[in-house]
Structure 1
């Protein structure tokens, strides 16, 4: 009787823990989709595929094949999604996760995600690389964009993507050189400060372009949320999730 009771208790406890884990995973998955992170990952894969095509056309066949094989291993989509969601789950408390999910399910959150996911689409990235159209800003809107820029992890994520791709190229080059000449693995990481310095001056106009369809009231409300505990925690967690997704 005692053994049966113990087994039943253990079984109930295990079922309860499994239920909590499943619920937490579902909550994280919902935030991952609602915040646009899933779409950003898809856009990254599209950009990566275009880069692979360029490698195939510009590099010797053996080098291009090695680089493509390495990129397939490192940036496999399902594993990237899994690493990103696991990172979110670890770095957000239940309260912070729920606060972020509530924001991104709101009308304002949906408008923000529409603007941000449009900005990372291959077509829009190509358009921005060709030069941003000048946008006249009121002093108030410019100040709001600067507030937002201080919270958003845009520069951090830009660095991580650039460094991950540079690190992949370094690793592939070392494999092809066969030890005759080795490029230090930390070589790409030495460029971190210079990459940020190149991107930072363009941030205000980039944000003005990305959020051009948001009204002043919407932009101000987004900046306000970015300064809350939930907003700051989510941006920190999303930056860590991008880093973990890109660097297995």
Structure 2
């Protein structure tokens, strides 16, 4: 009888752990969707496809084939999503995961996600590349945007996307050269500081444009959340998830 009870207890414990694991996995997937990360990845895939088609027509056939093949391998959507969600689950505690999910399911969180995913859509990216409409936020709003700029991982993610694409091009070039002349794999990483220096001056105007439809009160609440322990933890985890998704 004691052995029977022990086996029953072990079975119940195992079943409980499985349920907890599935619950955490489900919440991670829900956060991945609610925070806009899934949509951002879809927008990245659309931009990647457009850029690949454009450059394929300009490159030698061998290099174009290598670039397309490596792009398909490295940036396969299902693999990127799996890496991103695995990274989120590792870098967020259950409590942090639940708090972030609660925020992004709120009315404010939905507004934030809508503004941020709109900003990464191919149409909006093309519009911004043509030149941002001048934004003239007042002193109070500029201060709120400055607070957000210190917390959001926008520059980190911009760097990671640029460096991942540069690394991909380097690998393809090395394949074509066949070892006769090897380009160092770490060459792209040497541009990290330069990339940030180029992007940073544009950040205030970019944020003013992205969040242009939010009221000062809504922007203030978002700034408050970004500075909270839960917000800080999520942004760090989101930055790591983007890096892991882009770099298998």
TM-score normalised to the size of structure 1? Answer: 0.98
Deviations 1:5-47 (A, max 9, x none): 4433332222111111100001111111110000000000000
Query: In 2, Cα distance between the equivalents of 1:170 and 1:164?
Result: 10
Residues 53-202 of structure 1 mapped to structure 2, 5 A cutoff: 53-202=53-202
Q: Secondary structure at the match of 2:221?
A: helix
Query: In 1, Cα distance between the equivalents of 2:5 and 2:82?
Result: 37
Q: Offset of 1:64 from its aligned partner?
A: 0.6
Aligned residue for 2:216?
A: 216
Query: In 2, Cα distance between the equivalents of 1:206 and 1:95?
Result: 32
Larger mean CA deviation between 95-104 and 186-195 belongs to: 95-104
Query: In 2, Cα distance between the equivalents of 1:85 and 1:61?
Result: 35
Query: In 2, Cα distance between the equivalents of 1:13 and 1:137?
Result: 56
Query: In 2, Cα distance between the equivalents of 1:150 and 1:104?
Result: 20
Q: Offset of 1:97 from its aligned partner?
A: 1.1
Query: In 2, Cα distance between the equivalents of 1:224 and 1:11?
Result: 45
Residues 215-234 of structure 1 mapped to structure 2, 5 A cutoff: 215-234=215-234
Query: In 1, Cα distance between the equivalents of 2:5 and 2:224?
Result: 53
Query: In 2, Cα distance between the equivalents of 1:175 and 1:104?
Result: 43
Query: In 2, Cα distance between the equivalents of 1:19 and 1:107?
Result: 29
Deviations 1:154-203 (A, max 9, x none): 00000000000001111111111110000011000000000000000000
Query: In 2, Cα distance between the equivalents of 1:6 and 1:186?
Result: 55
Deviations 1:116-156 (A, max 9, x none): 00000000001000110101110000111000000000000
Query: In 1, Cα distance between the equivalents of 2:189 and 2:228?
Result: 31
Query: In 1, Cα distance between the equivalents of 2:138 and 2:2?
Result: 75
Q: Offset of 1:52 from its aligned partner?
A: 1.1
Gaps spanning 5+ residues in structure 2: where? none
Aligned residue for 1:205?
A: 205
Query: In 1, Cα distance between the equivalents of 2:243 and 2:229?
Result: 21
Deviations 1:49-103 (A, max 9, x none): 0011012211111111110100100000011111101111111111211111111
CA RMSD of the aligned region, Å? 1.0
